[in-house]
Amino acid sequence: MRYKGKLIKWNVDKAFGFIQPNAGGADIFIHKSALFNRKRTPQINDIITFSMNKGKDGRCCASDATFSGEKLKNFQSKKNTSLSAFSSYLSLLFLAAITAAYYAGQFPQKLLLSYFCLSMITFLAYAFDKSNARHGAWRVKESKLHFFALIGGWPGAAIAQPLLRHKSQKREFLMVFWFTVIINISLLIFLYLSASRKYLDILY
């Protein structure tokens, strides 16, 4: 759900301010990072359209914000869109590869089921977080989403990001996400090394 309000306070040095919603209620905190057009310096009385989110302190704050007259889609990053598409294809390729390896007798059934189950759980966590973001309700912590990805749910996360259009434009989040993917795949490769294959054999 999108909201609209007037910027009533702005701290230039700290790059944050407060929006007075047109619908009334408490003023909404906004940081410059929430604006798609970060080249423009916000001014008092600017009309801003935004979505609602919850910060680390649990308070409501603005996200996906645009100035009046600007369209949200005009500021979508093509680079991030391409990266989301790549991650989605990579996840599908990965799931197909481990499924083929399983039928070839080279991949443990328990580990295969774990990847699919964790991917489904992670996808649902993204969907739940997306739904709550629209209604300004309780959010799933980013640390939990990253944890799910780290333990094997990253294919589900990679599919959810472009499909649900959630967490696909936040650079800091994506950097941590890809770090969890690298760690997970690296651990899987490690388990297939001859020195550690005995640990993988337990899952057969």
- Domain residue spans of the chain: 3-74, 76-201
pLDDT in tens, 31-74: 998 888 888 889 999 999 998 887 767 788 998 888 987 766 55
Q: Which residues pair with 53 in a beta bridge?
A: 61
The whole-number pLDDT of residue 171 equals 78
CATH class of 3-74: mainly beta
Q: What confidence score (pLDDT) does residue 8 get?
A: 95
- The per-residue pLDDT of the chain, averaged, comes to 86
Percent of the chain with pLDDT over 90: 46
Instruction: Give Cβ neighbours of residue 46 (< 8 Å, ≥ 6 apart).
Output: 6, 7, 67, 68
Q: What is the pTM of this model?
A: 0.61
- Among the ranges 9-13, 60-64, 114-118, which has the highest mean pLDDT value? 114-118
Question: How high is the pLDDT of residue 79?
Answer: 53
Closest CA relative to residue 2, chosen from 21, 15, 20: 21
Most distant CA atoms of the chain, gap in Å: 66
Return the structure tokens found at 42: 């916000």
Q: Is 112 exposed, middle or buried (0-12, 13-18, 19+ CB in 10 A)?
A: middle
